[in-house]
Amino acid sequence: MRVILPFFATAAMMPPLPALAAALAAFQTALADPQRTQRRILADILAANCDTLYGRWHGFARIGCYEDFARAVPVAAYEDLRPLIERTAAGARGLLTAEAVVCFEETGGSTGGAKPVPYTESLYAAFRRAVLPWLADLRRRRPQAFAGRLFFIVSPAARERTHTEGGIPLGSGSDLDYFGTETAAALAPRTLFLPELLAAQSAQEWQFACAKLLLGAPDLSFVSLWSPTMLLLFLHTMQTRQDELLPHIADPRRRTALARALSRDIPDTRAIWPQLDTVSCWTSHTAAAPAAALQKRLPHVFVEGKGLLATEFAGSISFSLPERPSENGGGRFSDGLLPLLAVNSHFYEFHGAEGIVPVWQTRAGEDYRLIVTTQGGLYRYDTGDHVRVHALRGGVPQIEFVGRGGLSSDLCGEKLNEAFVRAAMEKVSPDLPEAALLQGVQADPPYYRLLCAGRALAQNPAWAARLDDALGGNPQYAYARRTGQLAALRLHFCADPQAYAAGFFRAEQRFAVRKIPLLLPPVAEGGEAV
């Protein structure tokens, strides 16, 4: 999922934002009665799509309540829905949604690498019901974040394809669609943008353009991006390419101050951005380590977790809560650091030890796998995302993302799974899955290494390049490589990869494996194979 496409203008005072106030009020109303909210969302989705092919298959018109829905509609993985999604991409209508699909966004995590996700106008509206309350609450909690310039990360413009075979756009015409017309227009005058961000054709060019833009903004006050590795990458580019960057700074006093700040072993970020108040990014699971590194680089800045936001759905938002006891007897609410379920966006179910339950039957302290039904045609969609319900607020879960289901690896949003890794290895050589294992390494920047049983394989860089290219069939992996968030794949000799993997899993008691997988959980740099 991409973030909004910014525009550049002067940093005038931000006008009132009625859409934010309305969205905040609606969200607060939904929090007061989550069961009613959730049942209404489900009823609306089913009524709107009862005449679709999928709706007729599963009798949407005869479903009168959640309990009927749970009996009539099976839980579905992406691969279960892929045939209908691909037919939709080819131009067919009325298969999953009665509403027209306005675009597709691609994400990773499937056996095939790329998962095209259909977007309708109703799905965009559902995203706004999460994003706008978050923005309104953030503005209320941290007004200084909106006192200067804003930077919402821009995805590289280049795509291998711009449309599906049926002529449907890949990506929206503008990422501003996530915010809505009114809010986008209000934010535009304070948001940083350079034409080079759209024109850049390589990762290096794009990184340079972003670094130049940020260095030229002493009044930067807010940054929103997905992976914290991205901002770490910009800081690295600023420091290593300062001789090229600084001549672009017109103000000689600013140029001198930047030269002094960047000359230090660790850049003086307070001198670079004295007004920077807040950075919003992923902070949980595999993003925790780079987020901690980013916080060290920005000691004067509040780093806020982005919550569970995915291409397919809005899961949770960071939201402040009035201090009140938990209904389950534990914890108090005051800081809003644990994201709150975006309860009025989609219909959610939670698969835990006692089976599948709706939002209003979740329990604090339990771990679940998240299942969502969206306005984009994903019904009882098994996200594979595992969450922990830390507490309940009026029946609404405060959730933390704790990992992906199955055997997967996610350093920067790429969500590689074992089936896809096997297919990528087999593209390089049919025998490669029997001779090597893949493992992520949390470094700066992170990378993947192929643990090879043979020295000849481990010493042949062509193998690494070919597998790196094959893994690029996952669009998020390819994106992370293009932007420099992921370094190139490396080869590493390992006398006995299977023994190494067995030892690793024995050390990680949460894994109960009988067969050694091809894809190992990530390790910190220095966790060398034996």
Query: Is residue 146 in a domain?
Result: yes
| pLDDT digits 0-9 by tens, 178-192 | 888 888 888 888 888
Query: Is residue 188 in a domain?
Result: yes
pLDDT of residue 505: 55
* Average pLDDT of the residues of the chain: 84
Tell me the HSE value of 36 on the side-chain side, using a 13 A CA sphere.
7
On whether both 296 and 416 belong to a single domain, the answer is no
Query: Is residue 263 in a domain?
Result: yes
Where among 305, 328, 360 does a domain terminate?
305
On whether both 148 and 287 belong to a single domain, the answer is yes
Three-state helix/strand/coil letters over 410-461: CCCCCCEEHHHHHHHHHHHCCCHHHCEEEEEEECCCCEEEEEECCHHHHCCH
* Residue among 303, 295, 168 nearest 223 (CA): 303
For residues 223 and 280, the answer to whether their CB atoms sit within 8 Å is yes
Query: Is residue 352 in a domain?
Result: no
pLDDT of residue 12: 44
Total domains in the chain come to 2
* Residue among 214, 212, 335, 328 nearest 276 (CA): 214
The rounded distance, in Å, linking the Cα atoms of 520 and 152 is 33
Using a 10 angstrom Cβ sphere, with 0-12 exposed, 13-18 middle and 19 or more buried, the burial of residue 430 is: exposed
On whether both 292 and 415 belong to a single domain, the answer is no
pLDDT of residue 386: 85
Query: Is residue 96 in a domain?
Result: no
Query: What is each CA distance from 47 to 30, 40, 41, 60, 343, in whole angstroms?
Result: 20, 10, 10, 7, 19
Query: Is residue 168 in a domain?
Result: yes
For residues 147 and 276, the answer to whether their CB atoms sit within 8 Å is no
Where among 247, 282, 305 does a domain terminate?
305
Where among 305, 326, 356 does a domain terminate?
305
On whether both 289 and 425 belong to a single domain, the answer is no
What residues make up the domain containing 164? 122-305
| pLDDT digits 0-9 by tens, 311-339 | 899 999 988 865 443 333 333 323 445 68
On whether both 441 and 295 belong to a single domain, the answer is no
* Residue among 5, 339, 14, 351 nearest 155 (CA): 5
On whether both 174 and 291 belong to a single domain, the answer is yes
To which residue do tokens 């992906």 refer?
404
Residue 276 pLDDT exceeds 50: yes
| Tokens representing residue 132 in the block | 């706008």
On whether both 433 and 299 belong to a single domain, the answer is no
Residue 53 pLDDT exceeds 80: yes
Per-position b or e across 196-214, b if 16+ CB within 10 A of its CB: ebeebeebeebbbbbbbbb
On whether both 290 and 438 belong to a single domain, the answer is no
To which residue do tokens 């009026």 refer?
394
| pLDDT digits 0-9 by tens, 445-496 | 899 999 888 787 778 888 899 999 999 988 889 988 988 889 999 998 887 7
Query: Is residue 355 in a domain?
Result: no
389 - beta bridge partners?
A: 399
Query: Is residue 164 in a domain?
Result: yes
For residue 412, give the CATH number of its domain.
3.30.300
The rounded distance, in Å, linking the Cα atoms of 60 and 130 is 26
Q: Mean per-residue pLDDT for 7-17?
A: 50
| Tokens representing residue 351 in the block | 């698969």
On whether both 268 and 415 belong to a single domain, the answer is no
The rounded distance, in Å, linking the Cα atoms of 173 and 322 is 39
On whether both 267 and 154 belong to a single domain, the answer is yes
pLDDT of residue 511: 34
